[in-house]
Structure formats: C-alpha cells, structure tokens
Amino acid sequence: MDEIVNRVQQSGLISMDLADFKPTKALVELDISEQLWQGLVLKEKDFRAWVKDTDWSVYSNKAVYVHCSVDAIIPTWAYMLVGSRLQDHEADFVIGSKKDLEKQLILDRIQSEPLDNYVDGRIIIKGCADIADPAYAMTELVKHLQPVAKSIMYGEPCSTVPVYKQK
C-alpha cells in the first residue's frame, strides 16, 4: 500500500491563521460618563479626585477601552489623565470603542511578528477567523509581510486567491 503524502506540507507554503492574532488579554470597559456632573459636564476638581482615588491596579495587564457613553464634551486632558494612570499599571488601552481596542491589539500582534520566517515565503492567509475586523487584520498582515514575501495568497492551500506576487 502506498504511503499518503502530504503535498501541501511539501509545497513550502506557509499557512497563517488570523485566529493567532486574536487578542488574549481580558477586554475591559472604562466609561467616564459616570464621572460627569449631572450627567452633562466634567468638573476638573471632582474628576481629578476620582482619578486619584481610583484603584487602577484592577486594570493591570488588561486591555482597556476608555470612552464616554453619553453625548458630552470631554476635555482632552481628562483622557490624558486616565491614560497616564493606565500606563502606570501596564494596561493596553485606547480611547474609543471595544472594536477600536481589538483592532489596535491585533495590529500590535501583527507588527510584533518577526519577519525572519517569511523571507521569500509563499504565504497563505486563512480567512475564517472570529476576530473584530477580518478585512482590517488581513490588510495589516499583507502590509507587514509584503516587503519580504515571495507571494501572498488568501484562502486554504487547496483553493487560494492570489493577492501579491514579487516581481
């Protein structure tokens, strides 16, 4: 009986799964609307007191999205104060939505991926992953890999769509 040969493995194709770039940290919301005076205005003295009295250690090593859920004008310095405290506790954070945070974490993971293993590689990016914005992630991955890759394709090894080929 003939041995079954894995021709995909022998082809030298490098398969990448977007799921590998999915954030692993806990995503935490920080809504500063609760600090508004009468739900309308941010008072500097009260806000600074809240910043000082808050136990920021609960955000240590977490991913935090900071936003205001009500329609209010929040001065930039307020977000800066919150960001400074989160930075002190090594939290990843964005000012924006949960989706903004997920996209930033995915981008950080992509940009930290060493390119050594992909030089002159024939890369296939798998498309089925449960992440915040797959089109964004795939585009960022192409941007990261294209300078070193021989070719980039989308799909599965048995059925790919060419995206880039080195000239």
Quick one: 13 and 33 in the same domain?
no
pLDDT tier at 9 (50, 70, 90 boundaries)? Answer: low
Q: Kindly list the distances between the CA atom of residue 2 and the CA atoms of 5, 9, 118, 158, in Å, as whole numbers in the listed order.
A: 9, 18, 33, 22
DSSP 41: B
Is residue 142 within 8 A of residue 164, CB to CB? The reply is yes
Same domain, yes or no, for 13 and 48? Answer: no
User: How do residues 106-120 score in pLDDT, each as one tens digit?
Assistant: 999 999 999 999 999
Same domain, 47 and 60: yes
Single out the residue in 101, 120, 147 at which a domain terminates.
Answer: 101
With respect to residue 1, please indicate whether it lies within any of the assigned structural domains: no
Mark whether 44 and 93 lie in a shared domain: yes
Q: Poorest-confidence range of 66-70, 94-98, 129-133, 144-148?
A: 129-133
For tokens 């498309």, the residue is: 127
Residues 98 and 70: their CA atoms lie apart, in Å, by: 16
Indicate whether 156 and 93 sit together in one domain: no
Total-model pTM: 0.85
- Based on the fold, state whether residues 90 and 155 are members of the same structural domain: no
Domain end among 78, 101, 124:
101
4 vs 33, more confident: 33
- State whether 41 and 66 are in the same domain: yes
Same-domain pairing of 91 and 60: yes
Residue 2: inside a domain? no
**Structural domain containing residue 84:** 27-101
Contacts (Cβ under 8 Å, ≥6 apart) of 141: 16, 18, 21, 110, 125
Same domain, residue pair 36 and 87: yes
The per-residue pLDDT for 3 is: 76
pLDDT at residue 6 greater than cutoff 80 = no
**H or E segment at 59?**
none
Whether residue 149 sits in one domain with residue 83: no
Q: What is the predicted pLDDT for the residue at 12?
A: 80
36 plus 97 within the same structural domain: yes
- Whether 74 maps to a domain, the answer reads yes
14: buried, middle or exposed (CB in 10 Å: 19+, 13-18, 0-12)? middle
Count of the separate structural domains present in the chain: 2
Over residues 121-148, the pLDDT tens digits come to 999 999 777 888 899 999 999 999 999 9
Same domain, 33 and 91: yes
